[in-house]
Structure 1
Amino acid sequence: MRILFVDCDPQYVNGLPSGLRQLGCDVMVLSSLEKDDFKLTFDLFQPHVLFTAGWTKLHTRTNLEMLGEYTVNKNIIHAYWATEDPRWTEKWSVPFVKRAKPTHVFTIDPDSVSLYQKMGLVASYLPWACNPEYHRPVPPKEEYKCDLAVVATAGITWQGFRRKAVKLLIKPLVEREYNIKIWGARWEQLNSDIVGFSVPDKYLCGKLPYHETNAVYSSAKIVLGIQNRTDELNSRTFEIMAAGGFMLAPDTEAIRAHFTPGQHLAVSGSEEQTIETVDYYLNNDALRHKVARQGRQKVITEHNYRNRAKEVLAVLTGG
Structure 2
Amino acid sequence: MKILCLFSEFQYGRPELGTGIEYAALMPALERLGHQVIHFETWHKAAHADFLELNFRLLEVVERERPEVIFAVQVHYEVWTEVLDLLRARGDTVLINWTTDDSWKYWQFSRFIAPHYHAISTTYPDKVEAYHRDDHFNVWLTQWAAAAQTLQPPLPAAECTYAVSFVGAAHGDRQERVAALAQRGIHVECFGHGWPSGPVEASAIPEIMRRSVISLNFANSMGANQIKARTFEVPGAGGFLLTDPAAGLERYYRIGEEIDVFTSLDDLGDKIRHYLAHPEERDTIARAGFERTATEHTYDARLRELLAFAFQQFGEAADRPAPRVVDSGHLARLHSRGPVIKTVRAAALAGARRIWGPDKGPRAARRLAFELSWRLAGARTYSAAGLPGRLFYEES
TM range (shorter): 0.7 to 0.9
Residues 231 and 254, structure 1, Cα contact 8 Å, conserved in 2: no
SS in structure 2 of the partner of residue 317 of structure 1: helix
Aligned to 1:192: none
Aligned to 2:23: 13
Given residue 80 of structure 2, which amino acid in structure 1 is its aligned partner?
L
Aligned to 2:275: 281
Deviations 1:17-49 (A, max 9, x none): 344344444433333574565344312321222
Q: Which has the larger radius of gyration?
A: 2
Deviations 1:160-219 (A, max 9, x none): xxx8xx98x7464132131212233457xxxxxxxxxxxxxxxx4333333332132123
Per-residue deviation at 1:303?
Answer: 0.5
Residues 59 and 83, structure 2, Cα contact 8 Å, conserved in 1: no
Per-residue deviation at 1:94?
Answer: 4.1
- The answer for unaligned runs of 5 or more in structure 1 is 188-203
Aligned to 2:356: none
Structure 1 distance, partners of 2:247, 2:85, is 41
SS in structure 1 of the partner of residue 304 of structure 2: helix
Aligned to 2:41: 31
Percent identical: 21
Structure 2 distance, partners of 1:113, 1:28, is 30
Structure 1 distance, partners of 2:32, 2:309, is 17
Deviations 1:116-151 (A, max 9, x none): 342545112111111121354799xxxx94321112
Matched, 1:220 2:212: yes
Q: Which has the higher helix share?
A: 2
Structure 2 distance, partners of 1:253, 1:88, is 17
Aligned to 1:77: 94
- The answer for unaligned runs of 5 or more in structure 2 is 10-19, 43-47, 49-53, 314-396
Residues 5 and 70, structure 2, Cα contact 8 Å, conserved in 1: yes
Matched, 1:174 2:182: yes
Residues 105 and 121, structure 1, Cα contact 8 Å, conserved in 2: no
Residues 136 and 244, structure 1, Cα contact 8 Å, conserved in 2: yes
Aligned to 1:111: 126
Given residue 88 of structure 1, which amino acid in structure 2 is its aligned partner?
K
Aligned to 2:105: 88
| 1:114-129 map, 5 Å | 114-117=129-132, 118-120=134-136, 122-129=138-145
Aligned to 2:197: 205
Aligned to 1:199: none
SS in structure 2 of the partner of residue 287 of structure 1: helix
Structure 2 distance, partners of 1:89, 1:153, is 24
Aligned to 1:46: 66
SS in structure 2 of the partner of residue 133 of structure 1: helix
Residues 85 and 107, structure 1, Cα contact 8 Å, conserved in 2: yes
Residues 241 and 247, structure 1, Cα contact 8 Å, conserved in 2: yes
SS in structure 2 of the partner of residue 205 of structure 1: coil
Normalization by structure 1: what TM-score? 0.75
Structure 2 distance, partners of 1:119, 1:208, is 42
* Mean Cα deviation higher: 296-305 or 43-52: 43-52
Given residue 8 of structure 1, which amino acid in structure 2 is its aligned partner?
S
SS in structure 1 of the partner of residue 103 of structure 2: coil
Structure 1 distance, partners of 2:33, 2:198, is 38
Normalization by structure 2: what TM-score? 0.62
Aligned to 1:193: none
* Mean Cα deviation higher: 298-307 or 89-98: 89-98
